[in-house]
Amino acid sequence: MWGRTTTPEPSGISRARHLMKITRSVFASVALAAAFTTEAANRVPPKPDWTVSDMPSQEGRIVLITGGTSGMGYEDALALSRAGAEVIIAARNAERGQQTIERIRQQVPDADVRFEAVDLANLASVRNLATRLNERLARLDVLINNAAIMAPPQRKISADGYELQLATNYLGHFALTGLLMPLLRESDDGRVISLSSIAASRGTINFNDLQAEQTYNPYATYAQSKLAVLQWAFELQRRSEASGWGVRSIAAHPGVAVTELVERGPGLDSQFGMRWAEDRDEYHSAAQGALSTLYAATAPEAIGGAYYGPTGEEEKRGPLGFAQTPETATTRADADKLWQLSERLTGVAYP
């Protein structure tokens, strides 16, 4: 063969060079995580006592909330309706959707609120919702990716054959956001608010068994799905900035709030459910849990790429502020790998 002939390095030198590469890679990852944390720390945090009374008027704003028929999604819909927004609640159950609209109108008689059916664990349903909204709306100002399921005892799969928590909590929202990006870009202040969890700090993205086919642990799989949401929210902000989409991507978590999530997931008769029921006085209400989302969705000073949540003990509840960001959520290589994989799994490529 033509070309330069090279002499193999002694094995000791080769190992040393390999170690240096690994060391540089580790230092680069640590530096990136430190820069990310420092940047957030240098930003102006929310008022710790921020409440819905601090929300600016949302007149003329159009907001879509997934899973808005109960829990924090309902509190989001109620507060935003009070502030004058046009609110679209997207969820599976049309009957519950109508009941939710009636509940909101009892408290806000002139509320501009309606229901749209969607099953986030069915990508065809997600596409149908996006098609309807792209046909009916001139723009979308805020998308709140709120819907979730938590730790079903047995592994279940979505309509598309994916593990159900990953499909509902992450992949469905990834697809919906990508399909609605043209509408979000038409807004003067487009925002995507994605709900993670304090469980994300205990999560890892298991690319070798992403669908938990080999080993299913309900809580580890839930943590993985919420870490995926957080990684994606940060990566979405980076791509929005790089491509000039003009859309803010903001992550939030509610701490631990009293909602139906446990009842519908592991169940109140499970060990986790019984412990949750015993300790529920230590948690806060769904309305309090919704504050971080509402701040991210409405506050003029809310920052793209930030992560908001309660800042009390273990971030279970307490004053609003910047949430602690797990180092695993700041790894660019993993975020890029997850993004590309998500595009393949959902068939949705962002513009």
The residues annotated as belonging to the active site are 222
DSSP output for 66-102: ETTTSHHHHHHHHHHHHTT-EEEEEES-HHHHHHHHH
In the beta sheet, which residues pair with residue 65? Answer: 89, 144
In angstroms, the Cα distances linking 125 to 161, 184, 246, 348 are 14, 20, 27, 13
Q: How far apart are CA 221 and CA 225, in angstroms?
A: 6
Across the chain, the runs of DSSP E, i.e. the strands, are 62-66, 86-91, 112-117, 142-145, 190-195, 247-252, 307-310, 320-322
Q: Are 246 and 303 in contact (CB under 8 A)?
A: no
Q: Are 293 and 72 in contact (CB under 8 A)?
A: yes
Backbone angles phi, psi at 49, to 5 degrees: -100, 25
- Reference 344, options 157, 123, 196, 120; nearest CA is 123
Q: How far apart are CA 200 and CA 323, in angstroms?
A: 11
Scan for tokens 């003009």, then name that residue: 246
Residue 293 CB-density burial (10 A; 0-12 exposed, 13-18 middle, 19+ buried): buried
All residues at 6 or more sequence positions from 225 whose CB lies less than 8 Å from its CB, including other chains: 148, 165, 166, 168, 169, 170, 203
Count CB-CB contacts under 10 A for residue 316.
17
Q: Which amino acid is at 86?
A: E
Q: Which tokens belong to 16? A: 């040393």
